[in-house]
Chains A and B, each alone.
Chain A
Amino acid sequence: MSNAPASPQAGGGRASMKKELPERFKAYRHVWVFVELERGHVHSVSWELMGEGRKLADKLGVELAAVVMGGEDAGVREAARESFAYGADVAYIVENPVLADYRNETYSKALTDLVNTHKPEILLLGATTLGRDLAGSVATTLLTGLTADCTELDVDVDKSLAATRPTFGGSLLCTIYTLNFRPQMATVRPRVMQMPPRLDGRDGRIVSFGVDLREEDIITKLLRFVPDRDSNKSNLAYADIVVSGGMGLQSAENYQLVRQLASTLGAEYGCSRPLVQKGWVPAERQIGQTGKTIRPKLYIAAGISGAIQHRVGVDGADMIVAINTDRNAPIFDFAHLGIVTDAVRFLPALTEAFRKRLSPHSKDRLAG
C-alpha cells in the first residue's frame, strides 16, 4: 500500500515492551522467501515476495535466500536458478521423493528443520492455501510470531520487521512486530506486492539440504490430484479491467447490471464481501482482504462504500472509478474519479454509452 507510512516509528505504548533479543536468537540472520513449487510451476506470489524480500534484505544489509522444495527432477534446481533472477543471493533446496506433492506433514518437517539449521531472521510465505497451511504449522512448532495477509512490510529503526495488515474485520490497519522471537514470520496474499523485474544472468549459490523423510513413515497419502478445468477459473486477479458491485445495488437481480457493463468492456466482474455473505455472488468473485487482490488498469466500483478490507484488494489498480450515492463514502477517498449517483440507475446508461463509443460503426462515423 502506497498510502501507509514508510517507516513506523518506535516509541511509546506497547513499543516499550521491547527487550534485548534473547541470546539464542542472536545468530538468526538473513531474509528467506519460501518458493511455492507445485507440479513444476512456481506460484507468482513467490516472486512478488522475492521483490519485497530484496528490499528488506537491502535495508538490513543481509542476504536474501529462496527456499525451494520438491521431489527429485521436479524442477527444484530450475526454480532455484530462477529465484536468482528475481533477487535471491542464495537458494536452499530440499529434494526428496516425499516432497513431490504438498503435504503438511512432510513440508512442515522439512521447513522447520531448515529454519533450525540455518536460522533466518525473517521468513516470508505466500498467503495461498499451501502457504497458510504450512506457515501456521511451522510457526507453532518454532513458537514464534506469524502475521497473516500483510499489505506492507518494512524494517523498523531497531531492525525488526514491521508487518502491516488490516484488522477488526478490515476496518483499520495495524502494524505488528515479533520482538523477542525468531524468525519473524509473515504471509502476503497474491497480487498484493508488485512483481519485481526479472534479471536473467543474475547468479547465486545453491545450498542443498537433506531431510530424513521416508514415504513409509508418512501417514498422510495423496490419493490423487484433480486439476481445475480452465473453463471454471475466473481471471479476476489478472484482468486489465474489472467492474464490481456492492450493497448499493440493493438486490441480487441488479448484479446483472455489473455483468452487462463488464461484458461490454470485455472485463472481469467482481463484488464486495457483503454480496458473497448474502449469497448473491459466488465467493470466487469477491474482491478485498478475504477475496481476490486485483491490479487492473481500470477498476469501476458500483455501489461499494470502500471499507479498508475492500480497499486493500484494489489499491494496486491504476485507475479507480467510484459510483456511489453517498458523497462521504470512504471510496471517494481513494478513487481517482467518481460520480455521486445511484448505481442502479446509472449503470445501464454507462453500459449503453460505452457500447456506442466502442462500436466500430460509431468509429467510422467519427472518422468520416
Chain B
Amino acid sequence: MHIVVCIKQVPDSAQIRVHPVTNTIMRQGVPTIINPYDLFSLEEAMRWRDKLGGEVTVLSMGPPSAADSLRKALTYGADRAVLLTDRFFAGSDTLATSYALSAALAKIGETFGAPDIVFTGKQTIDGDTAQVGPGIAKRLDLKQLTYVSRIVDVDLTSRSIVAERRAEGGVQVLMTQLPALVTMLEGTNEIRRGSLDDALRAARADVVVWSAADAGISDLQKCGLRGSPTVVKRVFAPPPRSEKAELVETHGRTPAENAEALIDMIFARAPGVEADLVKSVSGF
C-alpha cells in the first residue's frame, strides 16, 4: 500500500508578534513546526502502513527550508520525503496550492507508485481554511473523507475504506472506494516517538526536491499569485474599542475587596445579568 501525507511547515503561532507601531508581522526568529493537525494524519497513515504493509511518503510545498519539517516527519517513521519548491508558487491561495500539490501527487504516483490514500491535515494553524484537502480530492477524483475520527477498515482486496466522520450532531459511518483523501480530526491519536533507527535514517536520507517543471507543471498561469482567484487587498489590526476597559482600582486592596468592587461594576453595567443570576439561584 502507498500512502501519501501532505504536510505544511508553519510558524509556531504562539510566537508570532505584531509590531505595536507598524502593525506588521514580526517573523524574525519565529520557530517553525509541522502543522499540528498534520501529525494526526501522519500517525494514522503510519499505523495503516504498519498493519497492511507498504510505504508512507510525506509531501510538502514550501520554501527550501521546509525540508526541515519533511526530515522531522522521517524521524517519526515516514519512508520517503518529497519537497515541492519553486518561486512560481509564491503567493498561492488554496486553489493554486491544490493545483500544485495535485500535480506533485500525480508525479509521485508515476515515480513511486499510485497512492491508495492521500492524507492532509484537517486544516492548518496559519491559514485555517480546511480547503486544500477537498481541493486535492476534487482535482484527482479521490473520494473525500474529512473530519475523520476513526478509520474502521481498509480493505486492499475490495479497494474499500470505512471511516467514522464527525458531522453536525453525530457521526457518519461512511464506506467508499480507494483511492481516497482523508483528513483526520485532532486528538484521534498521538504521534509516535520515532525510533533511533528512524532518526539515523532521517539524518542520512535525501529529501527529494522537485521544481514546478520536475513535477510536470507546464501551465505556470495556474500557480502562485497568477493562479489564485482570491486577492488579499488589505491586512490590518482591528482597532481598539473607542473606550478602554474600565479597570478596578486595586491599589492597597485585598483580592476579596477587589472581587466585591468588580461584581458591583458588572451589576451596575448589566442589571439584567444580576437579575438572571438571582433568579437562577433562587430557583433551586
**Chain A positions near chain B (C-beta within 8 angstroms):** 1, 3-4, 8, 10, 13-15, 17, 36, 38-39, 41, 43, 101-105, 108, 128-130, 132-133, 135-137, 139-141, 143-149, 162, 166-181, 219-228, 240-241, 265-266, 273-274, 277, 282-283, 289-290, 297-298, 308-309, 311, 318-322, 331-341, 345-346, 348-350, 352-354, 357-360, 363
Chain B residue with the shortest CB-CB distance to A276: B186
Q: What's the Cα separation between A318 and B273 when bound, in Å? A: 10
Min CB gap B230→A, angstroms: 4
- Whether A335 touches B237, Cβ cut-off 8 Å, given contacts A105-B143, A225-B170, A274-B14, is no
Is A145 within 8 A of B93, CB to CB?
Answer: yes
Does any Cβ of A come within 8 Å of B200's Cβ?
A: no
Is A104 within 8 A of B144, CB to CB?
Answer: yes
Q: What's the Cα separation between A17 and B266 when bound, in Å? A: 49
Residues of A within 8 A of B98 (CB): 140
Query: Which bracket fits the contact residues of B?
Result: 35 or more
Select B270's contact among A39, A297, A359, beta carbons within 8 Å: A297
Apart from A321-B266, A334-B238, A340-B247, what 6 extra A-B contacts exist at CB < 8 Å? A38-B168, A132-B134, A167-B127, A173-B235, A298-B266, A363-B278
Is B245 within 8 A of A336, CB to CB?
Answer: yes
Min CB gap B196→A, angstroms: 26
Q: What's the Cα separation between A227 and B170 when bound, in Å? A: 4
Q: What's the Cα separation between A129 and B231 when bound, in Å? A: 25
Does any Cβ of A come within 8 Å of B25's Cβ?
A: yes
Majority-rule SS of A interface residues: mixed
Q: What's the Cα separation between A133 and B129 when bound, in Å? A: 11
Residues of B within 8 A of A178 (CB): 229-231
Select A319's contact among B170, B244, B266, beta carbons within 8 Å: B266
Is B259 within 8 A of A145, CB to CB?
Answer: no
Is B138 within 8 A of A141, CB to CB?
Answer: yes
**Binary CB contact string for chain B from 122 to 146 against chain A (1 if under 8 A, 0 otherwise):** 0101111111111101110001101
Min CB gap A324→B, angstroms: 10
> Which of B49-57, B67-75, B248-256 makes up part of the contact surface?
B248-256
Q: Can you list 18 pairs linking A and B with CB atoms under 8 Å apart?
A: A41-B169, A129-B147, A137-B135, A137-B138, A143-B229, A167-B127, A167-B232, A169-B125, A178-B229, A227-B170, A240-B273, A289-B128, A319-B269, A334-B245, A336-B245, A341-B258, A345-B255, A349-B259
Min CB gap B32→A, angstroms: 12
Q: What's the Cα separation between A81 and B274 when bound, in Å? A: 39
Is B169 within 8 A of A228, CB to CB?
Answer: yes
In the A-B complex, the 4 residue pairs with the closest CB atoms: A136-B134, A169-B13, A333-B240, A349-B255
Q: What's the Cα separation between A13 and B231 when bound, in Å? A: 11
Min CB gap B271→A, angstroms: 11
Residues of B within 8 A of A321 (CB): 262, 266
- Whether A38 touches B169, Cβ cut-off 8 Å, given contacts A136-B133, A148-B131, A172-B236, is yes
From B10, B127, B241, B259, residue with most partner A Cβ within 10 Å: B259
Does any Cβ of A come within 8 Å of B187's Cβ?
A: yes
Q: What's the Cα separation between A7 and B176 when bound, in Å? A: 46
Select A169's contact among B11, B177, B235, B244, beta carbons within 8 Å: B11
Majority-rule SS of B interface residues: mixed
Residues of A within 8 A of B164 (CB): 226
Select A146's contact among B230, B236, B266, beta carbons within 8 Å: B230
Select A334's contact among B10, B93, B240, B258, beta carbons within 8 Å: B240
Is B170 within 8 A of A226, CB to CB?
Answer: yes
Q: What's the Cα separation between A358 and B16 when bound, in Å? A: 42
**Binary CB contact string for chain B from 82 to 106 against chain A (1 if under 8 A, 0 otherwise):** 0000000000011100100000000
Is A132 within 8 A of B263, CB to CB?
Answer: no
Residues of A within 8 A of B258 (CB): 339, 341, 346, 349
**Chain B positions near chain A (C-beta within 8 angstroms):** 10-11, 13-14, 16-18, 23, 25, 36, 93-95, 98, 123, 125-135, 137-139, 143-144, 146-147, 162, 164-177, 186-187, 228-241, 244-248, 250, 254-256, 258-260, 262-263, 265-266, 269-270, 272-273, 276-278, 280-282
Q: What's the Cα separation between A359 and B282 when bound, in Å? A: 8
Is B25 within 8 A of A168, CB to CB?
Answer: yes
Q: What's the Cα separation between A173 and B262 when bound, in Å? A: 32
Q: What's the Cα separation between A282 and B179 when bound, in Å? A: 32
Select B128's contact among A13, A149, A225, A227, beta carbons within 8 Å: A149
Q: What's the Cα separation between A140 and B2 when bound, in Å? A: 25
- Whether A15 touches B233, Cβ cut-off 8 Å, given contacts A241-B273, A311-B238, A353-B260, is yes
Chain B residue with the shortest CB-CB distance to A223: B173
Residues of A within 8 A of B125 (CB): 169, 290
- Whether A132 touches B126, Cβ cut-off 8 Å, given contacts A104-B144, A225-B173, is no
Is B238 within 8 A of A143, CB to CB?
Answer: no
Residues of A within 8 A of B94 (CB): 136, 146
Chain B residue with the shortest CB-CB distance to A190: B168
Min CB gap A69→B, angstroms: 15
Q: What's the Cα separation between A341 and B259 when bound, in Å? A: 11
Select B278's contact among A175, A340, A346, A358, beta carbons within 8 Å: A358
Residues of A within 8 A of B95 (CB): 139-140, 143-146
Min CB gap B183→A, angstroms: 9
Residues of A within 8 A of B130 (CB): 132, 136, 148
Q: What's the Cα separation between A289 and B127 when bound, in Å? A: 11
Select A175's contact among B18, B232, B260, B282, beta carbons within 8 Å: B232
Q: What's the Cα separation between A331 and B231 when bound, in Å? A: 30
Residues of A within 8 A of B233 (CB): 8, 10, 13-15, 162, 175-177
Residues of A within 8 A of B280 (CB): 266
